[in-house]
Amino acid sequence: MFKAIAGFALGFILALCACSRQKTLTTDEIRSQLLSAKSLAAETEMFLDYVRENRATKHYAQGHIEYLTEEIERSREELQESSPAQGEEDAVRKLRTQFDALQAELHSIRGKLDDEAALAAAKEHLASIRQALDEANSSI
Partner 1 sequence: MKNILGITLGIMTALGGFVDLGQIVFTTQAGALFGYQLMWAIALGTAAIIIYMEMCGRVAVVAKEPVFAVVHTRLGKKLGLAALIASNLLNLITCAAEIGGIAILLHLLTGWPEKLLLVATTLALGMMVLLFRFQWIERTLGLSGLMMIVFAVSAVTLHPDWGQLAHGLIPKVSEPDTKHTLLYWYFAVGIFSAMLMEYEVHFYSSGAIEEDWTPKDLAENFMVAALGSLLGSLLTVGLLALGVILFLPRAIFPQTLSTAVFSGAFPFAQKALIAAIAGCLACLAGATVETALSGGYNVCQFFNLKWGKNVPPKSAPVFTGTWVAMFTLAMVIALTGVRPLQLVNISIVFGMVVMPFTYYPVLRTASDKNVMGKHVNRKFDDVIGGIVLVFVIIAALAAIPLMVLTHSGRP
Binding site residues, partner 1, CB under 8 A: 1, 4-5, 8, 11-12, 14-15, 17-19, 28, 32, 35-36, 38-40, 42-43, 46-47, 50, 54-60, 62-64, 67-68, 71
- Tell me, what amino acid is at 4? A
Helices marked H in the chain — which ranges?
Answer: 2-19, 27-52, 58-80, 89-109, 116-138
Smallest distance, partner 1 to C-beta of residue 101, A: 18
Q: How far is the CB of 8 from partner 1 (least distance, A)?
A: 5
Between 55 and 107, name the residue whose CB sits nearer to partner 1: 55
Shortest separation between residue 108's beta carbon and partner 1, angstroms: 20
Q: CB–CB of 119/52 below 8 Å?
A: yes
47 close to 67: Cβ distance less than 8 angstroms:
no
CA 73 to chain CA centroid, nearest Å? 7
